[in-house]
Copies of this chain bind each other. A is one copy, B any other.
Amino acid sequence: MIDLAILGLLDEQDLHGYELKKQLAELIGSRSGMSFGSLYPALARLEKAGAVKAVEALTNEAAIPMTGALSGELAAFRARIGRPARSRRTRKVYGITEPGRQRLRDLLNDESTDDRTFTVQVAFCRVLPPAERLALFERRKAELNRRLAERTRGARGESSRTDTYRLSLREHDARTLSHDLVWIDELIDATRAELVDDDAVDAPSHLTGGSHQ
């Protein structure tokens, strides 16, 4: 999962480890770890595998892309102080390679039932072609439905040892699952619309009435 997050971020812009960690924390929350002790070895592993490579960090601020709102806080800070950027000899800036992009697509298509992984997959799914994105969402939907079914099955035969709190927990779980399913359906609808749009260019109107559920 860490590979997915790293490659996804590097696909957007070149970054060094320290900044990567900050953006990672912003993306998936500062909780759920992602400490230096796992980030740097992961970067080294990816570099060895050829998925990322250290790009020449030019020694002045031109090395840092200032277009748009990228590195917004840092840029704002510098502008406020009115001082040139440091030379930053010690930073090691990474960029994604073409094999790395392929690896990213593979990881996005990876059939994992892990919740956190899916979150990160959604965060970067725009790099997938619509059909694969749709497949990703459909797999997730199937997984959530599977859990819902499992839950319903388990609800029988345990009536004796369920106090108020455990009942409340079960109800809350069920509501959360429904909530997630509604969301997935939104994502699916949006992506299907994109697919239809694409088809309208290449081959008109034979997917519009496609199967639901």
Among A39-47, A69-77, A94-102, which stretch is in contact with chain B?
A69-77
Chain A residues numbered 124-143 whose CB sits less than 8 Å from any CB in chain B: 125-126
Contact: A69 with B165, CB < 8 Å?
no
Q: What are the interface flags for A136-171 relative to B under an 8 Å C-beta threshold, 1 for contact and 0 otherwise? A: 000000000001001100100111110111101100
Among A51-59, A182-190, A205-213, which stretch is in contact with chain B?
A182-190
Residues of B within 8 A of A160 (CB): 68-70, 72
Q: How large is the interface on A (under 10, 10 to 19, 20 to 34, 35 or more residues)?
A: 35 or more
Selected contact of A157 from candidates B72, B157, B158, B159, CB within 8 Å: B72
Contact: A164 with B150, CB < 8 Å?
no
Tell me whether A60 is interfacial, beta carbon within 8 Å: no
Tell me whether A29 is interfacial, beta carbon within 8 Å: yes
Contact: B186 with A168, CB < 8 Å?
yes
**Please, how many angstroms separate the alpha-carbon atoms of A92 and B129 in the complex?**
54
Contact: B187 with A168, CB < 8 Å?
yes
Selected contact of A165 from candidates B26, B123, B158, CB within 8 Å: B123
Among A79-87, A172-180, A196-204, which stretch is in contact with chain B?
A172-180
Selected contact of A187 from candidates B70, B119, B123, B165, CB within 8 Å: B165
Selected contact of A123 from candidates B125, B157, B169, B179, CB within 8 Å: B169
Selected contact of A126 from candidates B26, B73, B126, B163, CB within 8 Å: B163
**Please, how many angstroms separate the alpha-carbon atoms of A83 and B149 in the complex?**
32
Give A144 Cβ to nearest chain B Cβ, in Å. 11
Q: What are the interface flags for A113-127 relative to B under an 8 Å C-beta threshold, 1 for contact and 0 otherwise? A: 100000100110110
Give A57 Cβ to nearest chain B Cβ, in Å. 21
Give A186 Cβ to nearest chain B Cβ, in Å. 7
Residues of B within 8 A of A190 (CB): 164, 168
Contact: A26 with B147, CB < 8 Å?
no
Contact: B158 with A69, CB < 8 Å?
yes
**Please, how many angstroms separate the alpha-carbon atoms of A152 and B140 in the complex?**
27
Contact: B147 with A29, CB < 8 Å?
yes
Tell me whether A89 is interfacial, beta carbon within 8 Å: no
